[in-house]
Chains A and B, each alone.
Chain A
Amino acid sequence: MPEISRDEVAHLADLARIDLSDAELDHLAPQLAKILESVASISAAVSDDVPATSHPIPLTNVFRDDVVTPGLTAEEALAMAPATDQQRFSVPRILGDEQ
């Protein structure tokens, strides 16, 4: 039975940069537990000899040739950006660190 604690939900919210109030955490944590429980019922439907998959189609080695194809112009790329400067996407000051 999967369990998810209120602390774990708070941690996930933090990782996802979602600001949740105490009341929201109280409200959402049990809901998330319920969702996990429902999803977990899938494991009851398959036997142990069915391997877990990460893709619905059993394919491997789908490649493209190393060939340049046309992309977007800078104008097109920046068209939907909320803010731009010097032909770059302008984003709010970053908390944390460079990767």
Chain B
Amino acid sequence: MTTLVPFDKALAAYDPAMGLEVHVELNTNSKMFCGCPTEFGAEPNTQVCPTCLGLPGALPVVNHKAVESAIRIGLALNCEIAEWCRFARKNYFYPDMPKNFQTSQYDEPIAFEGYMDVEVEGETFRVEIERAHMEEDTGKSLHVGGATGRIHGADYSLVDYNRAGIPLIEIVTKPIIGAGEKAPLVAKAYVAQLRDLIVALGVSDARMDQGSIRADVNLSLAPKGSDKLGTRSETKNVNSLRSVERAVRFEVSRHAGILNEGGKVVQETRHFHEDTGETTSGREKSDAEDYRYFPEPDLVPVAPSREWVEELRGTLPENPTAKKTRLQVEYGFTDLEMRDVWAAGALPLIEATVGEGVAPQSARKWWVAELLRRANDAGVELAEVGVTPAQVAAVQKLVDAKTINDKLARQVFDGLIADEGTPEEIIEKRGLALVSDDGPLIAAIDDALAAQPDLVEKIKGGNMGAIGAIMGAVMKATRGQADAGRARELILEKLGLS
């Protein structure tokens, strides 16, 4: 086992180069080459037909909507769109593809030569896109008999082909060089911004936790100042933004360890483990990587007319950088607030929450001050914290209606994260509603006033600061469920001061 070199030390001696391959599962109704449905979570092998099962004689036909989504993704990534391109067979023998080949694109991708500018800590990095191509997803294998989920030691595999044939767009970057110590953050920011772009385009569910966006992280190190690329490792299926960052970090430390010991990095695929943050060796790259690509004879070429491409360009969402500037002005966020919002990945969430009718500052407060802390505690991204913009809006409406206050709202969020139902149900179940009936409130006020006659005198004498102590006693007696404004009114009323 190689000694890991601490990240900072590794970066003092080596320059990292990264390549990111992101697979985006499109949200079309039907599959790439057949009319089977694409819904997530269906019973095994209920969304299949002769085409996606690779039965003899079945012929594929390309899904128009999938090509449209591919072109829109390409355009949003500032790519050229091919005037003419073909599908190709990627031949390999593995039961997750019943045809014994995956229909993909090889040397003629639909989109190529683009870029995406990503922002990390106020600095902009341009990530160049080599290509975005169309292909189909594979089936899902369940390995039985060995260690759970993994192949080693499995006695047999069970395959579900519901996912086989769902349209995928694979987006491949050129080597990302020069990010230095920021490499892990650049990788994470790229995938995050790409996800936001995909959401804005509306072409995918964009759920990393359900595998609708999956990232492969390629990494190599070269001695500082050298312009040669080192041997790379390919870490497959990194399924959260945080894991993208951690996978880069770990591989930098691991490569540096090997190189420091005078060893050679093996070109191989590796698996990332969410629990430990480490990668382990998968398969060594070898002759098995020889896919014998050739043009797919069952499909005709795709030749998008320039009119169609321009029409699709007209459907693109606002450029993310321009949008960020516009929203900051619209929402009245300070630069500092905006930096925190951006770093937290909260802007799309705040935008959606504002879209549900919440004031921007309230939306910001919940996402960045309250929910971000919970996301950090749970080690997940803000978008994956378990609360949706619609739920935040529902909670804010309950605060506005004085059903609950901010403090109780936090407990409602606890309930939402624990999946206890709607905000209303949680308030009911947890008994969180503010005491809106004056009866118990008046009783608590009477008790508090009777208990502290000296304070009553002070207030009557004009020392309004003393109200705070009475309020404290009232809130305590009502376990924080009193409406503070109403309590204050009633206290003043009682003392004949209103």
Contact = CB atoms under 8 A, between A and B. Distances in A.
A43 interface: no
B65 interface: yes
Contacts of B269: 97
A20 to B, nearest CB: 15
B225 interface: no
Contacts of B155: 93
28 contacts: A11-B290, A15-B93, A17-B93, A55-B295, A59-B300, A60-B84, A60-B303, A63-B63, A63-B64, A64-B64, A69-B34, A69-B49, A71-B52, A74-B45, A77-B53, A77-B161, A89-B95, A89-B158, A89-B160, A90-B156, A91-B156, A91-B158, A93-B145, A93-B157, A94-B95, A97-B282, A98-B96, A99-B92
Interface string A81-99: 0000111111111101111
B302 interface: yes
Contacts of B52: 71
Interface of B: 28-30, 34-37, 43-50, 52-53, 61-67, 84, 86, 91-97, 102, 138, 141-145, 151, 154-161, 236, 269, 282-283, 287-288, 290, 292, 294-297, 299-304
A72 interface: yes
A3 interface: no
A11 B287 CA distance: 8
Contact of A94 (B37, B64, B157, B301): B157
A68 B35 contact: yes
B85 to A, nearest CB: 10
A99 B94 contact: yes
A68 B36 contact: yes
Nearest to A75: B45
B142 A88 contact: yes
A93 B294 CA distance: 28
Nearest to B154: A93
Nearest to A83: B156
A77 B154 contact: no
